[in-house]
Each structure stands twice: as C-alpha cells, then as structure tokens.
Amino acid sequence: MPAQSDPRFDAQPETAAALAQMKEVAWTATDPELLELCRVRMALMLASGEDLKEPAPETLSDRELAFLAFTEQFVLSVASVSDSEVDALLAYAEPVDVYSFVAALYSLEMTLRIEMASRVVLAPEEAAA
C-alpha cells in the first residue's frame, strides 16, 4: 500500500486501494511489455508530466504498431474505436486476450488520469510551482 502521505489515500483510502489493486492486476492480465509500450503512449498523449521516450517506429513490430494505434484511438475516444481497429488486434491475439488487454489498458488509463488530476486538485500549491 502507498505511503500514508499520498493525498489520494488520505482523501479516499478505499477507492485508492481498489484502484491500486486494479492497476496491479492489469500488469498480470496481459503482455506486460506490450502494455508498458501502450502506457507510455498514453502518458505522452495525456501530457502526464513523466519524462518518457518511445522507441522509434521502425523498431516496432506490426503487432506493436497495431496495439499502439488502438491505444491512441482508445485514449482519444473509446466510443469511436472501430471494428477495423479491433480486428487489427485480433490478427495478433485471441478474443479473450484482446479483452484482457483492453481491460488492462482501461485500468492504466483511468489510473493515469486520476494521478494527473490528483496532482492538481489535491496539491494545488505544488501544481502551481
């Protein structure tokens, strides 16, 4: 469990603990290397404040590129994810594995957005610095 000084745990300990557990499960539910690649893309898209670098596109496999393209659309508008974007994932993974990836991606995206918001809302004097 995170340190007691974490303002998210101070504000809502049960919710923060459940979210931390969901994030932990996400890493075991799917390919962690692929998920990390997509997490970095999400963090960069959302300007999370992390100092991150992505691998050069020419170093990525077609599988990785398909999952990154899906991730981009997922972050922009999950409601606009198309059948062709899902089909691109299904070319590399079974339906249950695609489902597990999407659930893990959702968990990480939600966590990332909450972390970003908490830095502003729960510690406004630090965010202004």
- pLDDT above 90: residue 63: yes
Residue 82 lies in a domain: yes
Each residue of 3-52: pLDDT tens digit?
A: 446 777 777 788 888 888 888 999 999 999 999 999 999 999 998 788 89
- Residue 94 belongs to what domain range? 13-46+64-128
Residue 35 lies in a domain: yes
Residue 118, exposed/middle/buried by CB under 10 A (0-12, 13-18, 19+)? middle
Does the predicted model carry a pTM greater than 0.85?
no
Please choose, from the candidates 109, 98, 104, 99, the residue with its C-alpha nearest in 3D space to the C-alpha of residue 72: 109
What is the residue-averaged pLDDT of the chain? 87
Number of domains in the chain: 1
Residue 121 lies in a domain: yes
